[in-house]
Amino acid sequence: MTKLRQGDPWMPAPEYGRTLRGLGINLVVREIERALPFQREVLGATVVYADPDIAVLRLDAAEWMLHAAHTYDAHPLHPDLVAPGPRGLGVELRMHGRDPDAAAAAARRLGYEVVQAPADKPHGLREAFIRDRDGFLWVTDVPLPG
């Protein structure tokens, strides 16, 4: 695995691994630094840790990771991970509790694609569909009143 990080990580990998529980999401992105503005400003996530190889993000009780594609250079799917084009087709990454109007406004301001503008849905949520620069589709939503 190729690493670009200089110095020690925020915590040893085995120690962090022992903290993980339940469903985990790890998105392989082209570049960590390029992915962080979307995570912070559009999704409203807190960056727990970031270096050129990995980022750990948190919003409310959700925690997820980003890994740079170069760290997967020994992985059998590496050629697909570095190929151009959108990623994760068929997967919606839902950020419950993130105001879709605020997320869509931030996305437009920063030049991200708002696939579907904020709208009230019959299943009781107000949602916006936003694509990040790596092509992942994020859905921000809040419950409708009543």
| 32-60 pLDDT per residue, tens | 999 999 999 999 999 999 999 999 999 99
| From the candidate CATH numbers 3.40.1190.20, 2.60.40.1120, 3.10.180.10, 3.30.390.50, the one assigned to the domain spanning 13-143 | 3.10.180.10
Confidence class for position 77, pLDDT limits 50, 70, 90 = confident
pTM higher than 0.85, yes or no? no
Query: CA torsion sign, 34 to 39 to 41 to 46?
Result: negative
- Rounded CA-CA distance 120/116 in Å is 11
Domain ranges of the chain: 13-143
Reading the block at residue 15, the tokens are: 């120690």
Phi-psi region of 97 (alpha: psi -120 to 50; beta: other; left: phi over 0): left
Q: Taking residues 128-143, report their average pLDDT.
A: 94
Q: Taking residues 76-95, report their average pLDDT.
A: 86
